[in-house]
Amino acid sequence: MAMNTSPPAATTAVVLVNLGTPDAPTPHAVRRYLSEFLHDHRVVQMTRWLWCPLLHFVILPVRGKPVAHKYETIWLPGAEGGSPLAVYTRDLARAVQQQMPEARVVDAMRYGRPKLATVLEQLRADGVQRAFVLPLYPQYSTTTTASVADVVERTHGLELRMLDEYHLAPEWIDAVAGSIRAHRETHGAGDHLLFSFHGLPQRLADAGDPYPQQCEASARAIATALGLPAQAWSLSYQSRFGREPWLEPATDVTLDALAARGVRRLDVVAPGFAVDCLETLEEVSLMLAERFASRGGELRYIPCLNASPAHAQALASITRRALAA
């Protein structure tokens, strides 16, 4: 489960928060998870009297089975297996714990289990006095980071601090650049490097959400660390949902354009995701790779940082600096 073992005397905790995941790759578990996720007003801002009937009588009944099938294709086997997002987030917390023996490091989920509110309450009950909440979203968005802040603001009995973003933290930039460099040294460099970030409705960006600017700044900093010229890389947004306009360029459209331009070996990295999950392992590594292959190319997905030593060291350094500020 979420609560990792650490010295019982620790009075400071570090809570790594990820989005969440179903407990099982089944339609029932997926519907339960999506219901909680899509009920959050930060995620869907539609009027409740209109949205709730649509969610419960149309979206959940229709989407439960196909989404469960997608999870089945990436579910990790064994006693320590499960949803990759849950497994890798738990392993990352353990790795950061090794880097920070002075604190108690745990993982939590905004939706699903282990629920963030429950984890914070358990820390308080265990005698922890201070907790530093680190959402595993390098780039800030009102749809993700602000939702974690909503839970933090409702929590009492703990001295709580939270980091909003770390999209230009040098340790994180170096870790991502290092993983790309290592992948290309092993497999050879592709013709082009594509940074694919999770999408966002355009209206939220128009209303002032800084997410797209931070994604662009992250990609630019990573490309600079790799010494890439401007024409050697590009940025796109994946995982569109619904009919309203989302951030552009879209990843699927970008793949088509790169194939038409003659790119045959395409390296794709998703630095907005701290650990691999449905959007990277199924959407990018399987579905989009198939799409690119049908256009005569080879998509080589570069895994997320996951629980790598470089990632754990980067997050420990970022946390210590924030706590000392």
The predicted-structure confidence for 159-213, as pLDDT tens digits, reads as follows 999 999 999 999 999 999 999 999 999 999 999 999 999 999 999 999 999 999 9
Task: Lowest mean pLDDT of 72-81, 173-182, 254-263, name the range.
Answer: 72-81
Tell me the angle at which helices 309-324 and 170-187 cross, rounded to the nearest 10 degrees.
170
Three-class secondary structure of residue 2 per DSSP:
coil
The per-residue pLDDT of the chain, averaged, comes to 95
Estimate the share of the chain in helix, then strand, then coil, as percent rounded to the nearest 5. 50, 15, 35
Cα gap 292→67, rounded to integer Å: 22
Q: Which residues contact 165 (CB under 8 A, 6 or more apart)?
A: 137, 138, 139, 140, 145, 214
pLDDT-based confidence at 5, cuts 50/70/90? very low
Phi and psi angles of residue 17, each rounded to the nearest 5 degrees, phi first: -110, 125
Q: If we measure between CA atoms, which residue out of 116, 120, 139, 137 comes closest to residue 129?
A: 120
pLDDT value at position 241? 85
Just give the CATH number of 170-302: 3.40.50.1400
Give the domain 12-166+308-324 fold.
Answer: Rossmann fold (3.40.50)
Tell me the angle at which helices 170-187 and 211-226 cross, rounded to the nearest 10 degrees.
50
Q: What is the DSSP letter of 250?
A: B
pLDDT value at position 9? 54
User: pLDDT tens, 135-164?
Assistant: 999 999 999 999 999 999 999 999 999 999
pLDDT value at position 139? 98
Whole-number Cα distances in Å, 116 to 17, 150, 154, 211, 307: 7, 11, 11, 23, 20
Percent with pLDDT over 90 in the chain: 91
The mean pLDDT of 263-292, rounded to a whole number, is 98
Chain region(s) in the chain for CATH 3.40.50.1400? 12-166+308-324, 170-302
Three-class secondary structure of residue 95 per DSSP:
helix
124, exposed or middle or buried, with CB in 10 Å at 0-12, 13-18, 19+?
A: middle
Q: What is the pTM of this model?
A: 0.94
Q: Are the beta carbons of 242 and 266 closer than 8 angstroms?
A: no
The mean pLDDT of 270-289, rounded to a whole number, is 98
Cα gap 255→91, rounded to integer Å: 32
Cα gap 183→22, rounded to integer Å: 30
